[in-house]
Amino acid sequence: MIGLSVATLLFTHTDFLDHVEPPGHPEQVARIAAVTQALSGFDLIRRDAPLAEESEVLRCHPPEYLARIKAALPTRGWSQVDGDTYLSPGSLKAALRAVGGAGAAVDAVLAGAARNAFVAARPPGHHAETARAMGFCLFGAVAIAARRALDHHGLSRVAVLDFDVHHGNGTQDLLWDEGRVIFVSSHQMPLYPGTGLASETGAQGQIVNLPLRPGSGGGAMRAAWTPALAQVRAFAPELILISAGFDAHADDPLAQLEWEVEDFVWLTEAICDLADHSCGGRVVSVLEGGYDLPALAASAAAHVDVLLRRGE
């Protein structure tokens, strides 16, 4: 593309620090600080994640669900909307910026501002179902971004690839009937939220679940993703979105897949190879999980380093 930037875009915002969980909660403010600090020396084009219009949320979630989240927002302290999902006074603005950042990254990459982008946002989104907050998640930012690419930008085929250690049940729910999106999720099983069997294939056979055994490590991941990426390649996506969770790392306290940083590098390289073949390298990656701060920082930095090198 003429005039294409050689740098990777980074979308983030200080409002992500204002989504404050109760003390001891794993989805803590320090997560975003660890990621942004790890990326501080990278040659990235830095942009503020904008606030999404409510109409963007409504691409995937019904108005009554958005109204419930708004009504539950506390003026101080916390309110609880799920067994492990809390709201603080700044949570709605942070969640809207997560949606806005993912959408703005799609807009920028499709406009040719860069070949790829990373969105360092919280709260995460891939567990948020159509009308249910769960698993630390309020709005399905990546699913919403996929719908924006299809309905606002007029794409015909989008891939959503999720390597968070937990199944992306929310993304699956939001895209269950969407034949224009292929959704692939690798995840530990058994583990929260208990969904993600290989037999869950979507209304049009466009969902691919890759359950992995605890302790199976990077070798099992590579064996599962290699044919899955071939299936995505056959789908010929015009854009690839990543739900980038780094909680499959061996040091993460919430799971036991035992991946190392080099496994995230391998998978990111493989996704970029696919993007180079199918869609001119166009990739938008959005932060999901990762709860050991040093592992999160190292893995996210390695992931973005691949994006930066492949964006040149």
Tens of pLDDT along 230-239? 999 999 999 9
- Average pLDDT estimate for 90-95: 98
3-state DSSP assignment of residue 132:
strand
- CA distances (Å), origin 81, targets 8, 70, 98, 126: 35, 11, 18, 16
126 is catalytic: no
Q: What residue spans define the domains of the chain? A: 9-310
Specify the pLDDT at position 312: 81
Which run of H or of E encompasses 212? Answer: strand 207-212
Please write the tens of the pLDDT for every residue from 279-301: 999 999 999 999 999 999 999 99
Angle at Cα 194 formed by Cα 103 and Cα 260, nearest 5°? Answer: 70
Please write the tens of the pLDDT for every residue from 130-148: 999 999 999 999 999 999 9
Owner of token pair 């040091």: 251
Distance from C-alpha of 126 to C-alpha of 135, rounded to nearest angstrom: 8
Tell me the percentage of the chain whose pLDDT exceeds 90.
97
- Average pLDDT estimate for 223-231: 98
pTM of this structure? 0.97
Strands of the 181-188 sheet, one edge to the other: 45-48, 9-12, 116-119, 283-287, 240-244, 158-162, 181-188, 207-212
Specify the pLDDT at position 3: 40
Distance from C-alpha of 297 to C-alpha of 295, rounded to nearest angstrom: 5
Q: Do strands 240-244 and 283-287 pair parallel, antiparallel, or not at all (unpaired)? A: parallel
Q: Which two tokens stand for residue 42?
A: 């990278």
Which residues lie across from 243 on neighbouring strands? 162, 286
Specify the pLDDT at position 1: 34
- Average pLDDT estimate for 98-117: 98
Length of the chain: 312
At residue 117, does pLDDT exceed 70?
Answer: yes
Band the pLDDT of 180: cuts 50, 70, 90: very high
Q: List the catalytic residue out of 19, 61, 127, 303.
A: 127
Specify the pLDDT at position 268: 98
Fold of 9-310: Arginase; Chain A (3.40.800)
Please write the tens of the pLDDT for every residue from 41-80: 999 999 999 999 999 999 999 999 999 999 999 999 999 9
